[in-house]
Structure 1
Amino acid sequence: MTYGDGVVIDRSVSREWVDNAVRLIDADAQRSADTHLLRYPLPARWGVHLYLKDESTHITGSLKHRLARSLFLYAICNGWITEGTTVIEASSGSTAVSEAYFAKMLGLAFVAVMPRSTSHAKIDLIEAHGGRCHFIDRPSDIYSEARRLAAETNGHFMDQFTHAERATDWRGNNNIAESIYRQMSREEHPVPEWIVMGAGTGGTSATLGRYIRYRRHATRLLVVDPENSAFLGGYETNSCEYVTGMPSRIEGIGRPRVEPSFVGQVIDRMMRVPDAASIAAARHASSVLGRRVGGSTGTNLWGAFTVVAQMRAAGRTGSVVTILCDGGERYADTYFDDRWVADEGIDLAGPTAVLDAFMTTGVWEGQPG
């Protein structure tokens, strides 16, 4: 509003669309049951219980469903997305799948900017939800290209890597941390000794770390990082400028730079997990569970097995929780394809032997935590 010339600028007409958009997202959440907390079969005599928070049961099949819901609500309530807005995201796959789902629900166009190397299964899922895939050859161009497309279409760049840690209500409101502790409340060891997970945007680890401190839990947070990722280097050097410039082969986690949503100060420990170990652990868990899990779940389990073995060696009992991020069906042509593994120069024999020995003896002979 300006004073003196009597001009009034009224944007309230858009509120009707906003109100309905928030209602649609809330209604979708109400129709969805919480994700399961699965008990991983470890020998009872060990006295350590391992749980998997199964995020693959979301309607879009991955942990990123929570993030996409939060990002849409955040952008809508900030006035960045309204009726007719084209939504742009920089994503290697799973976030784009989930955001395409919500964009379609709201009648919005969606474009995912991604490397050409993204798995065909994820591309098919994005397109099945009405999204369009825009491919780049150099992973480092993903951010600038997303911004360019947003400007070209007068759309909104969702920018998961910046907004993930601030879009989620980390104090509660049924976030993943609150859900884990509620589901653990009647277990023999209701407060986990460790929660183990990888970092993609860093938003979920920030939510978990903040919630643990807010609720004054004794739980410690271990973040596992794949090869080529910058998060571990940034954590070691306490630098948000740390870069590797190299893409991660474990889709969904690991970044060539330390992303703005990564909050290292709430993490108790980090460790590097070789890609061969991630893939071997994903295959091992798939055999044990009778269903395929993705590579990032393998990374998580490698870290979880490490701390389970350390607890056993110290004579401690208790519980450990990690994340089943998504199903392995999306990686049939990569992590579960022997030819792809061989072409990548990955040898699974060593980590597979470590896993087999661990399940037999409870002793960990892999990379120390």
Structure 2
Amino acid sequence: MQMDSAIHDPLSVPDAPACPPCSGPEGGERFRQRRWADQALQVLDRDARRSADTHLLRFEGHCLEGVDIYLKDESTHPTGSLKHRLARSLFLFGICNGQIREGVPLVEASSGSTAVSEAYFARLLGLPFYAVMTRTTSAEKIEDIERQGGLCHFVDDSGQVYAEAAALAERIGGIYVDQFTNAERVTDWRGNNNIAESIFQQMQGEPRNIPAWIVMGAGTGGTSATIGRYLRYRHYATRLCVADTERSVFYDAFMTGDRSLTRCDGSRIEGIGRPRVEPSFVPDVIDHMVRVPDAASIGTMRVLSRRLGRRVGPSTGTGFYALCRLAACMMERGEEGSLVTLLCDRGERYGKTYYDDAWVKAQGFDIAPFEKKVERFLDQGGAL
């Protein structure tokens, strides 16, 4: 009599149960977390529907013939900065991957703006949130994080935030969100209302509706990766310029190709510049980089604030100074075109630091020459 070979086949796999394990400790927990994830995504979706897109402002405070300047105003997000987009993408990514779950504490390494935005979304979902940051973070940003229900955990220098965030997450049984690794992968760079798609949609109908340049700073590198990929995907001739700070390794890594570069000190321009080459920094999608003196970032921030009639942050000054340098080169070559940069966050967060003359002087910054240069350039053109 022939026997059923499947019974004796050591490689055979038993048939799966007819029904999924809806009961029992494993099945019950998995289904409960799936229901929580569905509800969490609905919460984030409702929050997004209540929020409008950010404005694209045409900057009129200059006399540069043949050059149009636009500011993508990311400060109008509910949490006041460009990082609101990143935080939402990180949460969507974490929930859909099954990593962000009901009751699990979240930990992030952040100098401020990302932590403010992540604390906002954690509060929406009822999750504990801890931000690991340097002690030099502005008091205003710390207050913003705590106002959103987040807890601040301090380290002495920026190079410690990564290891301490991972260690803290392990100690409390939480998840290290890790913006610096995940920023470039959590956003759909092909569209889906990312910042690049939003800029080009809002530029439709403008006299020079395809920008010659988009200019921005780099913190994680995630936003520049999204914009650079989108430009290539949509076949735009627009070039991407990333402005770096003095105490940062991004520029040197871009110029040399060496991703192992590190520094012992940290950036003095909050929100951008890093002491190591972050995993989310993708230099191959960047067309040009410039290093902007920190004093120029602060001086330009003040000039732009006066001309807009509202305060902007120092990273906005970094990007705008680089934009002015590109505009000067275009005008010298007789080129015309539009340039776009980001208004990254609200300047009110820096009243006790970058807008405080005594604080600026104590840091050793001489910003007056840069203020004069930028004022003169916006009024008269010429070299910068």
User: Same fold by TM (over 0.5)?
Assistant: yes
Q: CA deviation at 1:4?
A: 9.9
Pick the aligned partner of 1:228 from 247, 264, 282.
247
Aligned to 1:344: 363
Q: Structure 1 CA distance, aligned partners of 2:62 and 2:166? A: 51
Matches within 5 A, 1:1-369: 9-10=26-27, 11-43=30-62, 46-365=65-384
CA contact (8 A) 2:159 2:264 kept: yes
Give TM-score scaled by structure 2 length.
0.92
Residue identity opposite 2:104 in structure 1: T
Structure 1, gaps ≥5 residues long:
none
Aligned to 2:9: none
Give TM-score scaled by structure 1 length.
0.96
CA contact (8 A) 2:61 2:308 kept: no
Structure 2, gaps ≥5 residues long:
1-12
Residue identity opposite 1:105 in structure 2: L
Q: Secondary structure at the match of 1:46?
A: coil
Q: Structure 2 CA distance, aligned partners of 1:135 and 1:13? A: 35
CA contact (8 A) 2:63 2:381 kept: no
User: Aligned pair in 2 of structure 1 residues 189, 107: CA closer, same or farther (>3 Å)?
Assistant: same
Report the more deviating stretch, 241-250 or 224-233: 241-250
Q: Structure 2 CA distance, aligned partners of 1:80 and 1:309? A: 48
Residue identity opposite 1:177 in structure 2: A
Q: Structure 1 CA distance, aligned partners of 2:260 and 2:303? A: 36
Q: Secondary structure at the match of 1:270?
A: strand
Q: Secondary structure at the match of 1:246?
A: coil
CA contact (8 A) 1:196 1:222 kept: yes
Q: Deviations over 1:170-200 (max 9, x none)?
A: 1000000000000001100110000000000
Q: Structure 2 CA distance, aligned partners of 1:361 and 1:154? A: 59
State, as a whole percentage, how many aligned pairs show the same letter. Answer: 57
Q: Structure 2 CA distance, aligned partners of 1:337 and 1:270? A: 29
Q: Secondary structure at the match of 1:50?
A: strand
Equivalences, count:
364
Q: Secondary structure at the match of 2:242?
A: strand
CA contact (8 A) 1:42 1:50 kept: no
